[in-house]
Each structure stands twice: as structure tokens, then as C-alpha cells.
Structure 1
């Protein structure tokens, strides 16, 4: 199954994205979610297939959510993931003396 997907970025939360079917746009996204998401700015469009891989999402879950509810919300990574990638010396500089 091939789906053409529009991906919007949130104005309220860095690295939060909303996947919707291009044919539906944002009309199937619940109003409370749109309000919490903020201004939805089109980031890019993709053709999604079960064989395609995505950097931070399970393609099968994305396709399932698009089919069943009309959207998929990609949450930002937990902040501690950012800290894991900082060099050790930066982490030590902030330790209390």
C-alpha cells in the first residue's frame, strides 16, 4: 500500500511532527490536538510504503495510524537523549564543585 503523506512541523514544540494523508490534509486531526500543536507548517511530503524506513518512526505504525485515525503524531525525542550525545567534558563542566 502506497500513501502520499504531508508532514507538518509544530510551532510550539521543536521536533514534533504531524503526518497526514495529503488527500485529507488536516481535516481528520482532532481540534484539541491542532490547538496543542500550534501553527502547522508544511515541512515536506513523502511517499510512504511498508518497505520504506523512517529515521525515528516505525513505518508500519505510521501507516496504521494514517489508515485508522487519519494522522500520526511524532513526538520529539526525550531531552535526556540529547545529553547522551554531549561530550564528557561538557557534562563535567556543569557538575557542582
Structure 2
């Protein structure tokens, strides 16, 4: 299965995979309006890679078969404060001294 990959001009590091080049008929209009005008990047042989779009091939193909597309979002940024506190063995709870009552 060849998939067409498009990048978003509105959302950094966001990619849309569709079954056929320039066929967005399965993609919801609301998603396309947020994604913006898709910019073609490449064709990818999805069945020849163990991982595609950062996930296992089976999960990717399942999404493509059920929805007709796959949306690859950028990874969430690491919370450096939480990582630092965890490395010190501290709680990640809110540390401000404000009263909630």
C-alpha cells in the first residue's frame, strides 16, 4: 500500500497520510480546515516498513483502513521541571503555596 504524505502549513510537525495522492474525501472537513492547505511531501510504501508515522505498522494500517487517513501529530514537549523534580525524587504535585479554599 502506497500512502501519500502531506504536511500542514498551519501546524508545525503535523502530517496527514491518505490512501491516494490528492484524495481527501475521507478526511473530515473540520480537520482539513485546521490542517490548512495540505502540501504534498512524498509517497510511502506503508506495508514495507515495521514502523510508519512513529507507530507500529499494524496500528497505522488499521487507522488507514477504518478512517481512510492517519494524522501524525508532533510529540508533546517534555516538561523539564517535572523531569528534574522526578530525578531528585520529589513529587510532581503543584508546589505553589496558594490556598484553594
Question: Normalization by structure 1: what TM-score?
Answer: 0.72
Number of equivalent positions:
80
Correspondences of 1:36-75 after superposition (within 5 Å): 36-49=34-47, 51-54=49-52, 56-75=54-73
Where does structure 1 lack aligned partners over 5 or more consecutive residues?
A: 84-97
Which of these two proteins has the greater Rg computed from alpha carbons?
2
Contact 2:53 2:72 in 1 (8 A): no
Q: State whether structure 2 residue 86 is matched by structure 1 residue 78.
A: no
| Deviation, structure 1 residue 58 | 2.3
Indicate the residue corresponding to 1:89 in structure 2: none
CA contact (8 A) 1:6 1:19 kept: yes
Ranked by relative contact order (alpha carbons within 8 Å, sequence separation 6 or more), the top structure is 1
Coordinate RMSD, CA, aligned: 2.1
Alignment counterpart, residue 28 of structure 1, candidates 26, 33, 43: 26
The list of structure 1 runs, each at least 4 consecutive aligned residues, that deviate by more than 6 angstroms after superposition, is none
CA distance in structure 1 between the aligned counterparts of 2:54 and 2:21, rounded to whole angstroms: 24
